[in-house]
Copies of this chain bind each other. A is one copy, B any other.
């Protein structure tokens, strides 16, 4: 029982921390802020994480693993690259619309993670990007890998703009808009 409770607490802390980090930045959130956000006060956090840095590292590792695993699964699920690209887009869009705070922290706060974890996160992120590049390469055999990588990063920027603009549209039309924009951008001839 203790294990399950501990896991729930940990997840609750990570969720609250994601919201606060996304809104004010890692250095703009204090340990006491994090404690208050989950109903405890301050240093209770150290029962679940060895420190503030470790909390951020755990959060980014978890997100990167989710994205990478989801991407691998979706990219390998179907042989048609057009369908595979749509699957990747839909998966990323669902994630971005469901957890905008995690997406925000994911591409802003890597610089605040120290070296052992940082490398693991980078490796996962790179693997995710390469899934996209692999699919895209089959759709655009003319383009060289660096261009494809830059295009994928640009598409991520497009999809991750959700936190800035999601308030303007309902989730379903927003998802459709992002899907068509992302597809058009990635398949555009330069």
Contact = CB atoms under 8 A, between A and B. Distances in A.
A124 to B, nearest CB: 15
Interface in A17-40: 23-28
A178 interface: yes
Contact of A28 (B112, B158, B165, B189): B112
Contact of A165 (B154, B160, B178): B154
B169 A181 contact: no
Count this chain's copies in the assembly: 2
A153 B149 contact: no
A114 interface: no
Contacts of A155: 158, 181
Interface in A143-190: 146-147, 149-151, 153-161, 164-165, 168-169, 173-174, 176-178, 180-190
Interface string A98-125: 0000000001100110000000000000
A188 B169 CA distance: 17
Nearest to A112: B28
Contacts of A176: 190
A108 B107 contact: no
Interface of A: 23-28, 107-108, 111-112, 146-147, 149-151, 153-161, 164-165, 168-169, 173-174, 176-178, 180-190
Given A153-B168, A155-B181, 17 more contacts: A25-B26, A25-B108, A108-B108, A147-B173, A149-B165, A149-B168, A150-B169, A150-B174, A151-B177, A154-B165, A155-B158, A156-B161, A158-B185, A177-B190, A180-B189, A180-B190, A181-B188
